[in-house]
Amino acid sequence: MREQLFFGGPDPGRKLSRFWALLVLAAIIASAGIVTDSTATVIGAMIVAPLMTPILGTVLSITTSDGANLARSLALVAAGAIAVVAVGYLVGLAVSYDIVSSTSSQVEGRISPRLIDLVAALATGAVGAFALVRSDVSDTLPGVAIAISLVPPLAVVGITLEAGATDEAAGALLLFLTNVAAILLSGIVVMALYRVRSAAGRADSRSMRDRASVVLVVAFVAVIAVPLVGSSARIAQVAVSVNRVTTVAEGWAPPAGWTVERVEPHLSEMVVRAAGPTPAPDPEQLRRDLDAAGLGDVDVRLLLRPQETVELTSG
């Protein structure tokens, strides 16, 4: 485990060069996938990215009271994260238009983490630590790399910062920190269950410094969970509003021969997209219907797409 996770030993330069080469390449791949809105490309970056290694190295360092490797692993996580953000920023500069949630689904899917994301990350981090302590399940690590998203959120941070979308950058950074916190906590638990500390020759009781490290990790997870709870509540509230507006709109459009294509939240309002033949249904009637349904505080923007049918007879 030390050989896999730590960057010391007889040839640290080789390990570090491999880490930085793979990390920069993964950042470029992830940024390109976000710009082109390609899920397959982003998944490829997840597999290549080596950022989980120093995070698990941090877990092992805490478990075995290895202060030197703890500092080295934390420094690599921080420096690696900054490097990926920088690559994302540079890629954003090379694109002629802003890459934000409205232009890329890859951005949209990474700027609003929820509490369920923390739960999933805890389980994924546990799998990663389990695969580390059990050599017979090490072939699951590629799946762990895909499930625990580390480099893509950081690339989103850089790209959205370049676009001036600081709120979206903050949301993507929160997702990254959520995944890091989950790996640390679940990894410590798994290594404790497998008595890694004893196997490393640390059978003595934990020192105050070791306990403080564990407490800090738990506190880190608790702090991260607070905004996730708020985000989950907001997303649930928006989903309820979307369903209610959709129900009202679907009662308003059909009498005029129109169809509601979709209802979606955008900033502080709901956007209703509808299509049909002219004349269009009365927008004021929709507003009255929404008010009657108790949605008077919901701002709605209508995007109407008139459709015209023309018969072209032969001869």
244 plus 172 within the same structural domain: no
Domain final residue pick, 146, 181, 204:
204
pLDDT at 112 over 70: yes
Domain final residue pick, 204, 230, 253:
204
Q: Would residue 225 count as lying in a domain?
A: no
Q: Would residue 228 count as lying in a domain?
A: no
Work out how many domains the chain is built from and give that number.
2
Mean predicted confidence (pLDDT) in 78-98: 95
119 plus 248 within the same structural domain: no
**Which residues sit opposite 232 in a β-bridge?**
none
Provide the percentage of residues in the chain whose pLDDT is more than 70.
91
85 plus 197 within the same structural domain: yes
256 plus 194 within the same structural domain: no
Q: What number of residues does the chain have?
A: 315
CA neighbor of 158 nearest in space, from 106, 102, 93, 97: 93
pLDDT tens per residue across span 209-219: 667 888 899 99
Give the structural domain span for 281.
238-307
Q: Would residue 81 count as lying in a domain?
A: yes
Q: What is the pLDDT of residue 64?
A: 87
pLDDT at 65 over 90: no
- The burial of 55, by beta-carbon neighbours within 10 Å (0-12 exposed, 13-18 middle, 19 or more buried), is given as buried
pLDDT at 165 over 70: yes
56 plus 188 within the same structural domain: yes
Question: Which amino acid is located at 264 in the chain?
Answer: E
Mean predicted confidence (pLDDT) in 296-307: 91
96 plus 176 within the same structural domain: yes
pLDDT at 203 over 60: no
pLDDT tens per residue across span 25-47: 999 999 999 999 999 999 999 98
Q: What is the pLDDT of residue 162?
A: 94
Rounded CA separation 293/228 (Å): 30
CA 119 to chain centre: 13
pLDDT at 204 over 60: no
Q: Would residue 229 count as lying in a domain?
A: no
Q: Would residue 115 count as lying in a domain?
A: yes
Q: Would residue 196 count as lying in a domain?
A: yes
12 plus 76 within the same structural domain: yes
Domain final residue pick, 178, 204, 230:
204
Q: What is the pLDDT of residue 180?
A: 93
The two tokens of residue 56 are: 């698990």
Q: What is the pLDDT of residue 195?
A: 83
136 plus 8 within the same structural domain: yes
196 plus 274 within the same structural domain: no
154 plus 9 within the same structural domain: yes
Determine how many CB atoms are found less than 10 A away from the CB of residue 79.
Answer: 13
141 plus 86 within the same structural domain: yes
190 plus 291 within the same structural domain: no
CATH number at residue 258: 3.30.300
Q: Would residue 212 count as lying in a domain?
A: no
Q: Would residue 270 count as lying in a domain?
A: yes
